[in-house]
Structure 1
Amino acid sequence: MTGASGMGLATAKIMGKSHYVIISGRTISKLQNAVNELQEAGIKVEAIACDISDRASVEKLAARANEVGKVTAVIHAAGMSPHMGTGEMPLRVNALGAIYVNEVFSKVMGDKSCILDVSSISAYLLLLMLSRKKFIRKVIKM
């Protein structure tokens, strides 16, 4: 499970009824509240720091998940709204992060497994914002 707040946390509560859950986010300290809440609900869970914009970090997450047991489901709910970061960081998280999660986890998953990518309008807004900035720069240079 990437993204342990909002949609990710809600999904972990449901999946945790029948699955061991590994939640991930950029920092363990931010994940601790989610771990506590899930454990209080009787869910077996662990937290792993993972920056999905970094392929090596995603590979470590997948390796740990594979150590725990057969990986049957990956819920990729991590993402950044344009206001949450500057420069290309939201694009790296939203676009490259999704690619890395899908490519890396598909290698450790077998038949009858599923990767579910959750997206929001933020990804579209980010691309729209970047395309407008590029257009505006072209106009200014003319």
Structure 2
Amino acid sequence: MDRNQKKRLFQILLAVGIVLLALSLLLDGRVSDALGGMLCGIGSGLLAMSGSTLLNLRHEAKHPEMARRHDIEQRDERNVAIRNRAKAVSGEALQWAVLAAAWLSIGLDAPLWVPLAATGVFVAKSVLELYLMVRYEREM
């Protein structure tokens, strides 16, 4: 995706975010709180994400040498390896935190679906990890 396509996409997403946020304010009291909150949350998220991306694109256009350096750093093998390792370690930490939350919810007499959902997330992450390990071993 080239720079102009990216800019156009995020301008559209910015407009959608503004519309959703405005809808949540205009429909306040006329729709359920859940729907209003969802409209507000999605609209705010799109607004923030699109706005920051458009600001970054503008900064890159004003400083092309800095953007070029940043692209090189993003593709550098060492930096890619560091990012991948950080993602793996944070995934492990999150996996065990989810399992700890499941145990905590059992101790706090939470509804049964809470620890089951947390355990399901733990198992799903473990299965995905195993699948990816097998797949990457075949590719490499």
TM-score, length of structure 1 as denominator length: 0.27
Which of the two has greater strand per residue? 1
Query: Which one has the bigger helix percentage?
Result: 2
How high is the TM-score relative to the length of structure 2?
0.27
